[in-house]
Every structure is written in structure tokens, then in C-alpha cells.
A and B are shown apart, each in its own frame.
Chain A
């Protein structure tokens, strides 16, 4: 049954996407490790790190698209879950430094020694074990999302109200994590990592492995999302998105559906953050900044809301544009380009790039059958 569900959930675009990402997961390390630096085919390590970052952003975008595109929950605070997952990973990495820190304290990270902390705070216990840290990467964001969602969905907070209080949530967390007495390193955050599971995080092989794992995570998360959406559960989600009151009147427990998918999405965002941290080498409270969360929503909108593939592509495209324009001669003007992109996409491609492409191809072929095949070529969702 599961297999059936999985296969049923894949359409052409999805298959291509899975293949491309899986191929990248293999090709990139090969080009980086197996070719000499002088070769024309050699892929420099900094690009591997960059691609790894994009993969994490793509995963975050998938998690947002799952709730926004298919359940109509617009979270403007998903960066909070991303950052919490990142902090869980960062705490593990900090504990791995051990006596190699400046102050050579076997238990306390350097910043705690520096702030005269005598003992490790309780919430840091256990993070030296990878399985525990791995668990926390899902549990912490998931639990926060569950509690938050429990209250919010039960009292039927929806629409912009929900969006704004998710923003309040991430903003409050940002202010909290900025405080040095919170025990997460304050503004400097967690940095100067050494080992991940015994591998040097700066080694080329580790970077390539992390990249491949990130790609794998994107593929798995994508498949998971497709399965969820293709199942009966997913149909109810779409029903809630399109007419919440009617779904409720039909007897569905709207809160439970929303709560489940919201928590699942938060766990995915947490995983994205956890993969992101060892690749960029730092986690800091500015990841909680509301602007970051809004930007992540914009990736999804640019790529195409409610398409999953589009969300991931949007994340990569916008971030590639950012990388491209923040370097070189355009550096002082890149905000014009980025801002202009958002305006133009909204006005000219209101469905996002992928949906628009699908729409065009569908128009070129026989409109009706193509739309039915996509299954999600829905009318533009409101709100």
C-alpha cells in the first residue's frame, strides 16, 4: 500500500526533480574529489559548501510549501524552527570541541568559561551524544510547533493573525537568544566547530558528504511531502486550505489536521537548520530574524506555491541570485535587483515560476487533461 501510495504520488515533474537532486548528490562530490584542481571539470570546494547551503534552504522551502501551499497556513516564523534545529546541531558540535577550545575546558564551551559559568546548564545535558542531538533536532522544533499550534489552531487563529503571531514568536526567540545569560552564546552564537561524528567539519570529504546528505534529505522530505499530499489526509488538507469552514462542517477535525502538518513541517525545518549549521560554520540569533522567515516565504512564492518542486527551485534560484549579485560590481545595487525580482514575479508570474510554466505547457497541450494530471494545478488559492 505504501509503495502504491508513493508511486501514485509521483508525477513527471516530481520524478525529474528527484532524479536531478539525486544526480547532483553524486556528481558534485565526484567533480570535487575525483578531479585534479587544474582540470576544467574540477568543482571548487567553496561551491560544494554553497550548494550544500542551497540544499538546506530548499529543504526549508519544502517545509513551508507543505503548510502554506497545501494547508493555507502562512507561517512568517518558520525561521525559528530552522534556527532551533540549527542550535541543537550547534550544541552537539560545541560539545565535540572538548579540550581543543581556547580555555581547554573539557565540559564547558569557551563562551561559558568566559562568562564565568561554573556548570553546564541542564538543557545542554546530553548533547555530547549524537543520537540525542539528532533526536532533539526534530523534537525541539516539533514540540514548539506542537504547543504553539495546539493553542493557535484550537482557538481558530487563522489568516494574517496567525502569520503575525508566528512572527512574534520568532521575534521573541531572537531577542531571547541574543541575551548572553540564556546560555546559547548571545550574539556570537555557536561557532568554531571542529568535528562531526569524528570527521573534521572543514575537510573536503566531510563537506561533500554533508552536501550529499543534504540532497538526500531534500529527496526524502520531498517524497514524504508527496506521500502526505497524495494520501486522503492530503486531500483534507487541500480542502481546509480552500474552504476551512466547509471542511469543519463536513465533520473533519480541522485543528488536528493543521496541528499534525504544522508539526511535521517544523521538524523538516529543524532538519534543514541542523544540516545548515555544520556547512556554514556558525549559528547565531540573527537566524531568528523575522526578515529571514519572510524571505523564505518569498522563495516559495517565487518558485510557485503549492508545487513543492517550485518551492525548492525558488529557494535555490533566489539564493543563487543573492550570491551572484552580492559579489562583483553589482554589490551595491543587489537589493534593487532582488527587490525588483519580487515585484516582477508577483505582478507577472503570480503563480510562481513553476506553476506558470506548468500552466503554459498545459495550455499548449490539451488544457483539461494536463491540469487533471498535475492534480495541484488548482485555482489560485486565496489568503
Chain B
């Protein structure tokens, strides 16, 4: 660490020069350092980073950022270095000007490893503490909090004095506290104050920071640290419960999405639809195809890929569902166990078809930017993709309820499934309603596939992973009842996630299965059983 300190001290000095408006490039050191990147060995690259960071050249930040992202290119033959912009354009790293002409044949990116990335992060953190963008200042403060680099302390204090944004100010204070706590020379009073700041932060990182303190602290500091740790542990335990509930909700919404189409084809129509999982898979593959097309024709549309995929998946899976209903299922009404046989055969065919067309390997379905990353909510981290999936699951559920309750098609559907001859004599074309109902169930499975492609493998086996869980959910909730499916999915998800930390993933799942078996003994027709004469049919 000592060499880092030295470097960063020099860096701070250089930073001062830049801030003072000394924009004159130091002709020597920067170019020498850049040349190191053309050597192709990690240790030379490390020297290069070192050199560039302390050179004081205004291009330093761009070079380091590019290096971190793997966008710094070099040619070993011509001893040239380029910065590749995110859109692929090349800039000469020595001058910063756009590079025109043909790039050298042996152009390649400069390799860095994790250690060097950490060095770059520390350097960039120090370089950006004074950035104009408050988000970047905040990130820099967080980086300092983690690195606890003593030599940055003067810089932090300077930034703290000028900071106006409250969030960044707090982050800077925490960074300062972290440095002070680990500084052997700081006074006991300072350390106690720092402990309080860290204690207020109260997250897992703070606990880790306090846990990692050396044991030879003054007694007063020791007591303060112990108290802060206890308080953080208490808060974390509370948040732990919230986190489990959130994870359960998120798992439950995945189960709901997977099962809700089945709640129609199996729950309402009585078709033991073993090909349900394959409808989900079809939806995921539609997403893949849409993303491939977007990558090929207009990469800017990538963020809209899911929005484009949704109606297509609905149409494709729904269409396949209608075809299946017209050609196979309609001959099997009233013989549910034979539908099991035929749809199992169908699922084999669909799987192998997809395997033949797309190959057996996983396909790359990317997350759009609005579904990547996470944000902190109190003491827990919520990832955007899970959040959107929870919202999406509920939206689909509500939309389906609305269709069943408020549309003419919903009315006809309920009529046909409740009493077919009566519905037929009222002039409803039962065959058409059957086809559309099965199509609707399949289509919903298809759009579930769009969502599940964001968190799971997109491979021909995708559907197999969900089919059993889906049946469990529908049966647990009560066949023929959408509310039952929703409550069942959430209950199973939350039960699973509360059991998992104690019993482990496998035993947790086994326990849930046994609970379902026992629950069915108690309520043989699920949570929300249909009542009336149709039950015995």
C-alpha cells in the first residue's frame, strides 16, 4: 500500500496544479507513461497507470477511464496508444485529437487485471472528488470510504469544506471518518466521533469496517465501537427480515408469472398442460430474436427491446396456443389425463424444435439499462430487474382479472367453462371461445417468458424448470381461481425465502413441498376452493 500512498500524494499535488489552471502539458512524463501501455505486460501497464495519474496531463482522466473499461487500445508495432470512445471512434491518446486514417493491423486493447482496476479506481476517485457532477463526487467519496486511503485525507477535508450537496457531504464525512478510524495517529476523541458517524451509516459495509479494526484500541474507543456495532447489528437484523420479505415477494412474483398462464389453461379449462413451460420458453426466445434484430439493425433501440418483445411474444405464444388447441386439445375435452399425455409429447417436440433452430446452448438476452443495477432502500439492496418483474407480475395479474370480469370475451369464457351446453344454447360459439381461452393462457405464458428471460437462462430447458412449481402454485391456490394463484404464488415465495437462510436452499424447498402436501390434506381443493356442483364433475 505504501507505494500507492506515494503515488496518490503526487497525484494530489498534480491535481492542485490542474485546478490552479496549470494546463500546460508536461511533455515528458505523460508520453513516457503512455508508452508503457504498448509493452503488453501487466507490470508495465501498472507503471503506465502510475505515470499517467501523476503526470498532471488533462487527458489522464480520460485515459484511465478508457483503460478501466477496456477501451484503451495500443499497437505494439507502431508504439501508439488510442482512446476508443464508446461509439467506437478512435482518439490519439497522446494528443487527444480524433484519429483519422486506417488503424494499425495489430491494434488490441490494453489488458488490466483486478488489482490494476483497483489502482485505477483509487486514482480516478481522487481525481474526481472535485468533479462538477455531484453523482461522480458521491461515487468518489464512496470509493474513498472503501479504500480509507490516509493520503487522500487533506483532499477529502478540502472537498468537504466546499461541498453543498447534502448526500455527497454525508458520504464525504463518512469517508473522512473511515480514514480517521484507521489512522493510528488520530486522537481517541476523533475516533469516537468517527465511530458515531459510521454507526449512523449503519449498513453492512460499516459493520465490516468496524469489524476490521485492529484490537489494540483505547478502552473508550473500544466501548464506542462495540456499542456502534451492536446498534448496527440490530438494525441489520431488522432489515434482514425486510430483505427476506422482499426476496420472497420477488420469488413469489416470478412464480406468479410462471403460473398465471397455467391458471387459465389448467385451472379454468382443465387441460393438464405440460407444454405450458414451453410457452414460457417461446416467449423468452422471442425476446432473444427481437434483441438480435435490434443489435443488428439499430442498437439504440435496445432499451425498448422488451417493450417490442412483449406484444410479439403474446402473439407468437398465443398463436401457437390456438393452433395447438384447434389441432389437438379440442379433441380431448373432458379427458384431462389424455391432455397430459398429448401436451407432454408436444412439450418434447417444442423443446427439440427450438433446440434444432437455435442450438442447445444458452442465448444471450441482455438487460436493458433500466433493468440493470440496483438501488439502496434503507438497509437492503433492491435490484431493478426484480422490482420491474414484481410490478409486471401484478400488472399482468390485474389485466387478466379485468379481462375476465369486464370484457365480453371474459364473460363468454366463464360461461363456457362453467356450463358448456347452456352457453352454447345461448348462442356462444364455444369452439371459438375454447381456442381463444387456450390462446390467452399460452399468450400470458409467452409474456411471462419475456420477463423471465431477464433473470434466467434462455435455453430449450427453460420451461422444464418452471413447470412443476407452476402446477404446485395453481393447485395450492385452488384450481380455477386466479386470486388463489396469486396468493398461492406469494405465499410459497415468501415461505421459501424465510426458510432458506435457516435451512439452506434445498431443505427450504423440500420443506415447502412437504408443506404443500400437508396443506392439501387439510384443504383438498386448495386455498380458494370452488364451491358448488361443478366441483364433482
Contact = CB atoms under 8 A, between A and B. Distances in A.
A175 B509 CA distance: 8
B251 interface: no
A346 B274 contact: no
A346 B327 CA distance: 12
Interface string B506-521: 1101100110111011
Contacts of A341: 345
A347 interface: yes
A168 B472 contact: yes
A333 B352 CA distance: 7
B475 A165 contact: yes
A156 interface: yes
Interface in B497-537: 506-507, 509-510, 513-514, 516-518, 520-522, 524-526, 536
B348 interface: yes
A380 B338 CA distance: 11
B517 A169 contact: yes
A298 interface: yes
Interface residues of B, number: 46
A22 to B, nearest CB: 31
Given A157-B524, A172-B514, A343 B352 contact: no
Interface string A218-249: 00000000000000000000000000010000
Contacts of A176: 506, 510
B506 A175 contact: yes
B334 interface: yes
A380 B524 CA distance: 26
A342 B342 contact: yes
B471 interface: yes
B336 A160 contact: yes
Given A301-B341, A342-B345, A165 B520 contact: yes
A152 B338 contact: no
B468 A301 contact: no
B338 A346 contact: yes
A310 to B, nearest CB: 14
A291 B507 CA distance: 21
A264 B201 CA distance: 64
B345 A340 contact: yes
A339 B340 contact: no
A167 B471 contact: yes
Nearest to A343: B345
Contacts of B517: 148, 151, 165, 168-169, 172
B513 A172 contact: yes
A74 B536 CA distance: 17
Interface of B: 266, 272, 274, 328, 331-332, 334-338, 340-342, 344-349, 351-353, 356, 464, 468, 471-472, 475, 479, 506-507, 509-510, 513-514, 516-518, 520-522, 524-526, 536
29 contacts: A154-B521, A155-B520, A155-B524, A156-B524, A157-B520, A160-B272, A160-B336, A160-B475, A161-B475, A165-B475, A165-B517, A168-B513, A168-B517, A169-B513, A171-B468, A172-B514, A245-B536, A290-B468, A333-B356, A335-B348, A341-B345, A342-B344, A343-B346, A343-B349, A346-B338, A347-B328, A347-B332, A383-B336, A383-B337
Interface of A: 74, 148, 151-152, 154-158, 160-161, 163-165, 167-169, 171-172, 175-176, 178-179, 245, 290-291, 294-295, 297-298, 301-302, 332-333, 335-336, 338-343, 345-347, 350, 380, 382-383
